[in-house]
């Protein structure tokens, strides 16, 4: 009888894990794994409403040491200037372009002072016949790990006035349909993509991000009718197999996905796609992260920061959760999400213009002039 009682007790003990131990383990999981564990028991389903647990998860999430560096692109005396926060050489590769009305693109590696002018595409020929008919919307630039290649993806929009003389003569001879196209540095050529993929006509700074071979961008709705942001989905395009996923974005009045936000930014935090928005009326930042592509319910509110009455306008987001903004005294400041403290960056004046931006880069020693070899 005693042996049976001890066996039953051992079985009971082995099947029970104290909450203290669970709560010390769960914050160390990835968001995707943690979301899946919500179905194990009711108390775990409410973890993201537990203040103590969220503090542990947040500290672990923001403690990730990303090898990327942060620089500021500004304009000084009419020229583009790059400032490195670390003060070290910039070994990443940049994709530079003028505006949506110019097809010219250049790849530039500052450390070696090498550059590569990307060749023209078929749409440039159309532009020669029908001036101002083509608009180029770059949606992503990144590295394809599968074939050791840099790639650029863009949406080419063609607009021809039906009342013009050009339309009757050239429309049947030239390809005037909007299209997606992708450039490969290895082949040094463009090719059209046969995809029906959501695009954005508001390619604003901060609405696009690259992570691990995937280009992501926010896609708005009813562009021609709306003056404010109306983002309804996140598009994720894989550079290697040229497939894409669409993840809907919820719109809640009190959430970071509120379409009335005056500023919205995509970022990568701890290898997770992150959406950060700023509400000018309340001076509050909302931060949410995505655990699984194409699943609307996988967005999770991570943090609310503010109110911060000193903010004049947000500027960008770093890889370690630094929200950079221009203060009302014109100084450039960053907000550390892990401590929720601000620190001055030492820049002022010439950086306070809308052509300035935050750029994330990773060190890369691949020679862009010889990658095709």
**Residue for token pair 């931006």:** 357
For residues 314 and 356, the answer to whether their CB atoms sit within 8 Å is: no
Number of structural domains in the chain = 1
Q: Which residues are CB-neighbours of 20 under 8 A, at least 6 positions away?
A: none
- 130 in any annotated domain: no
pLDDT at 65: 66
Q: Say how far apart CA 311 and CA 253 lie, in whole Å.
A: 22
- Mean pLDDT by 10-residue block, N- to C-terminus, for the chain (373 residues)? 52 60 75 72 71 79 68 68 63 77 82 83 57 80 90 85 53 67 92 90 79 90 44 89 89 52 82 87 88 86 87 79 82 83 72 59 60 51
Q: Say how far apart CA 4 and CA 1 lie, in whole Å.
A: 5
Q: Which residues are CB-neighbours of 105 under 8 A, at least 6 positions away?
A: 95, 96, 97, 117, 118, 138, 152, 183
Token reading at 168: 């009757």
User: What's the Cα-to-Cα distance from 301 to each of 26, 143, 216, 277, 304, rounded to whole Å?
Assistant: 17, 30, 19, 12, 8
Predicted model pTM? 0.79
- 262 in any annotated domain: no
- 46 in any annotated domain: yes
Q: Say how far apart CA 369 and CA 240 lie, in whole Å.
A: 21
pLDDT at 226: 38
Beta-carbon count within 10 A of 75 CB: 14
- 301 in any annotated domain: no
- 71 in any annotated domain: no
- 23 in any annotated domain: yes
- 21 in any annotated domain: yes
pLDDT at 239: 95
pLDDT at 343: 84
pLDDT at 170: 52
pLDDT at 254: 44
Which residues form the domain of 27? 17-58
- 50 in any annotated domain: yes
pLDDT at 97: 83
């Amino acid at each position: 009888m005693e042996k049976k009682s001890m066996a039953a007790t051992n079985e009971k003990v082995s099947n029970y894990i104290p909450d203290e131990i669970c709560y010390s383990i769960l914050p160390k999981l990835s968001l995707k794994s943690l979301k899946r564990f919500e179905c194990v028991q009711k108390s775990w389903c409410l973890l993201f409403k537990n203040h103590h647990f969220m503090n542990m998860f947040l500290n672990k999430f923001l403690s990730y040491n990303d090898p990327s560096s942060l620089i500021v692109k500004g304009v000084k005396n009419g020229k583009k200037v790059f400032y490195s926060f670390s003060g070290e050489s910039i070994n990443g590769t940049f994709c530079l372009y003028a505006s949506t009305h110019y097809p010219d693109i250049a790849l530039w590696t500052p450390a070696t002072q090498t550059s590569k002018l990307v060749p023209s595409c078929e749409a440039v020929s159309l532009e020669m016949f029908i001036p101002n008919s083509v608009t180029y919307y770059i949606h992503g630039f990144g590295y394809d790990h599968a074939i050791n290649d840099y790639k650029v993806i863009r949406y080419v929009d063609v607009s021809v006035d039906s009342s013009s003389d050009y339309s009757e003569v050239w429309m049947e001879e030239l390809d005037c349909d909007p299209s997606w196209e992708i450039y490969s540095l290895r082949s040094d050529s463009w090719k059209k993509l046969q995809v029906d993929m959501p695009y954005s006509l508001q390619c604003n700074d901060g609405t696009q991000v690259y992570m691990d071979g995937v280009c992501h961008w926010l896609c708005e709705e009813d562009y021609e009718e709306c003056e404010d942001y109306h983002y309804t989905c996140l598009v994720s395009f894989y550079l290697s197999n040229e497939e894409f996923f669409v993840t809907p974005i919820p719109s809640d009045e009190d959430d970071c996905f509120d379409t009335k936000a005056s500023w919205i930014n995509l970022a990568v935090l701890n290898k997770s796609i992150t959406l950060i928005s700023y509400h000018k009326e309340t001076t509050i930042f909302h931060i949410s992260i995505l655990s699984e592509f194409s699943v609307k319910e996988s967005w999770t509110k991570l943090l609310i920061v503010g109110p911060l009455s000193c903010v004049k306008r947000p500027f960008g987001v770093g890889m370690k959760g630094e929200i950079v903004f221009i203060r009302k005294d014109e100084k450039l400041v960053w907000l550390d999400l892990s401590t929720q403290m601000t620190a001055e960056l030492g820049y002022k004046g010439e950086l306070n213009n809308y052509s300035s931006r935050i750029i994330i880069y990773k060190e890369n020693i691949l020679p862009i002039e010889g990658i095709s070899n």
